[in-house]
Amino acid sequence: MEKLEGMQAPQFSLPNENGEIVSLSDFEGEKYVILYFYPKDATPGCTTQACDFRDAHQSFSDLNAVILGVSPDNEASHQRFIEKQGLPFSLLVDANHEAAEAYGVWKLKKMFGKEYMGIERSTFLIDPTGTVVKEWRKVKVKGHIEEALATLEQLTKKA
């Protein structure tokens, strides 16, 4: 997969935890979008990542950014995850992994000697014009949110 940085972000329209359709175009001309793909609700790494985004939510919001998490989990799973962790942002249902494929994060993975298709933890920073300005692939959770926030701060200072 070639890098998406500097290119128009692939469009998507996906249901959130309440079944409401959320599209990338909803934010064009208005907000930065932190679009993060994660493998599964309520697993250790994904919970840590979601809680890190939760804890930094106000800082992202202050910089005119909206956070959207994406996984193949269903609405009910997303609702439980949001309630349990107190997440102040939407989680989108990518059941057919169309968005994950469009962003090049639907990958062959290996665990315990088994191969399967799944989400490679990745984050995309999309500016208000719909351009991918930064992408992080194969994300390691520790320190990632701070890096994403620092990148956004630099961008908004230039704007």
Radius of gyration of the chain (CA): 15
How far is the C-alpha of 30 from the C-alpha of 33, rounded, in Å?
10
Catalytic residue among 22, 24, 46, 105: 46
How far is the C-alpha of 115 from the C-alpha of 132, rounded, in Å?
30
Query: How many Cα neighbours within 13 Å face the side chain of 94?
Result: 29
**Cβ distance 65 to 152 under 8 Å?**
yes
How far is the C-alpha of 14 from the C-alpha of 91, rounded, in Å?
10
State yes or no: is 46 an active-site residue. Answer: yes
Helix (H, G, I), strand (E, B), or coil: what is residue 153? Answer: helix
Any idea which residues carry the catalytic annotation? 46
